[in-house]
Chain A
Amino acid sequence: AQSVTQLDSQVPVFEEAPVELRCNYSSSVSVYLFWYVQYPNQGLQLLLKYLSGSTLVKGINGFEAEFNKSQTSFHLRKPSVHISDTAEYFCAVTGGGTSYGKLTFGQGTILTVHP
Chain B
Amino acid sequence: GAGVSQSPSNKVTEKGKDVELRCDPISGHTALYWYRQSLGQGLEFLIYFQGNSAPDKSGLPSDRFSAERTGGSVSTLTIQRTQQEDSAVYLCASSSYPGLSTDTQYFGPGTRLTVL
- A interface residues with partner B (beta carbon < 8 Å): 32, 36, 41-46, 49, 51, 90, 92, 94-108
Contacts and interface: CB of A to CB of B under 8 A. Distances in A.
Contacts, number: 66
A46 to B, nearest CB: 6
Contact of A101 (B4, B31, B42, B91): B31
Contact of A100 (B56, B106, B108, B109): B56
Contacts of A101: 31, 33, 48, 95, 99-103, 105
A72 B4 CA distance: 32
Contact of A102 (B33, B102, B110): B33
A92 B106 CA distance: 14
B101 A96 contact: yes
B78 interface: no
A105 B41 CA distance: 10
Given A43-B108, A44-B91, A100-B31, 17 more contacts: A41-B109, A43-B4, A46-B104, A49-B104, A51-B102, A96-B101, A98-B99, A100-B48, A100-B56, A100-B101, A101-B102, A102-B33, A103-B105, A104-B45, A105-B44, A106-B42, A108-B43
Given A102-B33, A102-B48, A45 B105 contact: no
B48 to A, nearest CB: 6
A100 B109 CA distance: 22
A94 B101 contact: yes
A90 B91 CA distance: 14
